[in-house]
Amino acid sequence: MILNPQMYRGCFERFYICSPSIHLDATWIPVKKYIKEKTGLEPFYDEFDEESLTEFVKHHERVVAQQKHAGSHKLFGVLIVLDDLAATSVMRNPRGIIAHLAVRGRHSCASLILSSQSYKAIHPLIRTQLNLLLLWRQFQQK
């Protein structure tokens, strides 16, 4: 989705990607290459850091507020991808940064993609803000 020009490629100026497998899974390699070439940054994290993400979001909110104040017609967008965090409690916090992004992110051009192995691992406040929900069966080996 991030690399597809008919979806999200070219839509965002900044990225924040957190996945325990970001440095292990080869499927992330083209995404990491694209983001590094586009931004010159490597915003890839293998552990969730609420403080780091909060600072990233607050900084972006200030940038967009300045753009709005200046009358800019094109606002900078950010994409935050949180992958494979169901085993942690971060998506169950109704007062955390993920809930803040789900409820208020659209006002500052912040898009959020959550990938979870469990629908119920995501707090209802966050789930009710979904624009798109994709579900598929998990295959378990016996």
Q: Residue 89 sits in a domain of what CATH number?
A: 3.40.50.300
8 A C-beta contact, residue 110 and residue 80? yes
Inter-CA distances, 10 with 21, 34, 35, 74, 112, Å:
24, 10, 10, 13, 16
Indicate the pTM of the whole model: 0.88
pLDDT in tens, the chain (142 residues): 888 888 888 899 999 999 999 999 999 999 999 999 999 999 999 999 999 999 999 999 999 999 999 999 999 999 999 998 887 888 888 889 999 999 999 999 999 999 888 888 889 999 999 888 887 777 666 6
- Which range marks the domain in which residue 118 is found? 14-127
Cα separation, 9 vs 7, in Å, equals 6
What local confidence, expressed as pLDDT, does residue 98 receive?
93
CA within 13 Å, CB half, 79: 19
Domain count, the chain: 1
Q: Is residue 2 part of a domain?
A: no
Q: Look at residue 88 and tell me if it is in a domain.
A: yes
Instruction: Examine residue 3 and state whether it is found in any structural domain, yes or no.
Output: no
